[in-house]
């Protein structure tokens, strides 16, 4: 009888060993997790911790969710999260010696994935795709910075879409994730038409009108910025064309081109094509200016344009004497007689033309540098 009582007490205290089938199933789960997951832990330690969580061996905590109970270990949860550590201290025992804590408001599987991450620092891609926003909330609520970083990275790498951008933005603001806020804000502004048709936007309009107003203002500001950028690009093109016209004007008056040039130059019949893009149009304008009968009366718009080009050249020309462009010296002498208003206007135009020319040269220089720094190919 004593021997029988001894054997019964041994069976009562010692856990039953797992069957061969359960060990095989656990091994298969570990292999599947290792194959389709991203981990930051040593393989052996990861497998042991995964088995410990999956089997619930000597679990002393029951985590209550909306749809069930997940067995876990107080020592691991308490070390991983200071919030859970406090919850465990305040928890009551249920079912004998097992403590109980509650994590509700998120799906049961999201809680399971979250707890497994606390054990193994692992996550499966498919599960992350489905529960990334829930895991973001849990990582913030229970102070798990590594999981929060993973969630933000996964959203940045493709999980952030026009459909969930508004929800992600609201959660990012609540969960103190500034980079995610920036990513969501950029996506919403960039693809506002698609985002505004999503369900998240419609819910946000009802629940958070202040955020809706902020986003609409950002979209308007972005549109205004785009219009301003386009305007500046077009303006720079005009100033660059004026600079090219100035270069072509000096070229015609100094060297001659095609069929027109200075009186002391003989034009070559078989000259190479001209490298100045504005030369052809400017050559026709100079020829018209030389023979127009209405320019004296001020009734020819083409001649007025030519007068303006000649005056602009005089303000850009640095030669004191010897410039072959007509009326250059005449316009320089007229500078003393101009009003301050006209002087300010011309100075602004000159600065814009020079700025456009410098910008164009800088772009050409940067492109040449990029080409020159490319690795050279070697053929054998």
Each residue's pLDDT tens digit, 244-285: 888 888 888 887 776 677 766 776 666 666 777 778 778 888
Are 246 and 309 in contact by the 8 Å Cβ rule? The answer is: yes
Show contacts of 227-234: CB within 8 Å, 24+ apart.
none
Name the percent of the chain lying above pLDDT 70: 79
The residue with greater pLDDT, 301 or 203, is 203
In sequence order, the 6+-apart residues with CB closer than 8 A to the CB of 93 are 99, 100
Cα–Cα dist 241/17, whole Å: 87
In 121-190, which ranges are continuous DSSP H helix? 125-141, 145-154, 165-174, 178-190
In 3D, which of 318, 342, 345, 344 has the Cα closest to residue 332?
A: 318
* Paired tokens of 198: 């999503």
> Is the C-alpha dihedral spanning 365, 368, 370, 373 positive or negative?
negative
125-134, 181-190, 284-293, 344-353: which has the minimum mean pLDDT? 284-293
Residue 92 pLDDT level (bands cut at 50, 70, 90): confident
More confident residue, 292 or 373: 292
Q: Identify whether the C-beta of residue 309 lies closer than 8 Å to the C-beta of residue 245.
A: yes
**pLDDT higher than 50, residue 135:** yes
Band of pLDDT at residue 376, cut at 50, 70 and 90: very low
pLDDT of residue 366: 56
Residue reference for tokens 């660059």:
240
Strands 98-102 and 68-72: unpaired
CA 362 from centre of chain: 25
- Give yes or no for residue 286 having a pLDDT over 90: no
Q: Per-residue pLDDT for 162 more than 60?
A: yes
Residue whose entry in the numeric block shows the structure tokens 């054998």: 380
Q: Is the pTM of this model over 0.85?
A: no
Q: Please name the residues in contact with 94: beta carbons below 8 A apart, sequence gap of 6 or more.
A: 62, 100
Checking if the pLDDT of 374 tops 50, the result is: no
Are 71 and 61 a contacting pair, CB within 8 Å? yes
Domain ranges across the chain: 231-364
Q: Burial of 317 by CB count in 10 Å (0-12 exposed, 13-18 middle, 19+ buried)?
A: middle
| CATH (residue range 231-364) | 1.20.1020.10
Encode pLDDT of 335-348 as tens digits: 777 778 888 888 88
Q: Which residue has the higher pLDDT, 79 or 233?
A: 79
């Amino acid at each position: 009888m004593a021997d029988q009582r001894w054997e019964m007490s041994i069976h009562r205290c010692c856990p039953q060993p797992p069957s061969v089938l359960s060990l095989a199933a656990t091994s298969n789960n570990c292999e599947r997790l290792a194959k389709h997951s991203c981990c930051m832990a040593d393989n052996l330690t990861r497998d042991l911790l995964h088995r410990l969580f999956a089997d619930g061996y000597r679990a002393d905590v029951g985590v209550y969710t909306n749809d069930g109970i997940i067995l876990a270990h107080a020592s691991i949860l308490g070390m991983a999260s200071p919030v859970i550590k406090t919850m465990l201290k305040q928890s009551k025992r249920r079912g004998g010696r097992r403590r109980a804590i509650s994590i509700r408001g998120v799906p049961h599987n999201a809680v399971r994935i979250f707890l497994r991450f606390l054990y193994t620092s692992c996550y499966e891609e498919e599960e992350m795709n489905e529960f990334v926003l829930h895991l973001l909330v849990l990582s913030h609520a229970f102070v798990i910075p590594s999981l929060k970083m993973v969630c933000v990275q996964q959203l940045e790498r493709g999980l952030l879409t026009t459909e969930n951008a508004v929800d992600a933005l609201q959660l990012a603001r609540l969960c103190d994730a500034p980079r995610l806020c920036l990513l969501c804000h950029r996506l919403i502004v960039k693809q506002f038409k698609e985002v505004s048709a999503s369900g998240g936007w419609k819910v946000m309009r009802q629940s958070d009108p202040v955020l809706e107003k902020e986003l609409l203002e950002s979209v308007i500001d972005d549109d205004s910025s785009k219009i301003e950028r386009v305007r500046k690009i077009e303006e720079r093109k005009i100033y660059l064309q004026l600079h090219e016209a100035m270069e072509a004007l000096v070229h015609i008056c100094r060297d001659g081109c095609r069929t027109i040039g200075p009186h002391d130059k003989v034009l070559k019949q078989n000259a190479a094509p001209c490298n100045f893009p504005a030369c052809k149009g400017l050559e026709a304008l100079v020829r018209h200016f030389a023979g127009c009968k209405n320019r004296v009366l001020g009734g020819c718009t083409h001649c007025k344009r030519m007068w303006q080009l000649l005056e602009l050249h005089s303000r850009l020309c640095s030669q004191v004497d010897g410039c072959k462009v007509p009326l250059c010296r005449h316009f320089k002498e007229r500078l003393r007689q101009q009003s301050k208003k006209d002087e300010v206007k011309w100075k602004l135009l000159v600065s814009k033309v020079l700025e456009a020319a410098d910008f164009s040269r800088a772009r050409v220089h940067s492109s040449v540098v990029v080409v020159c720094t490319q690795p050279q190919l070697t053929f054998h």
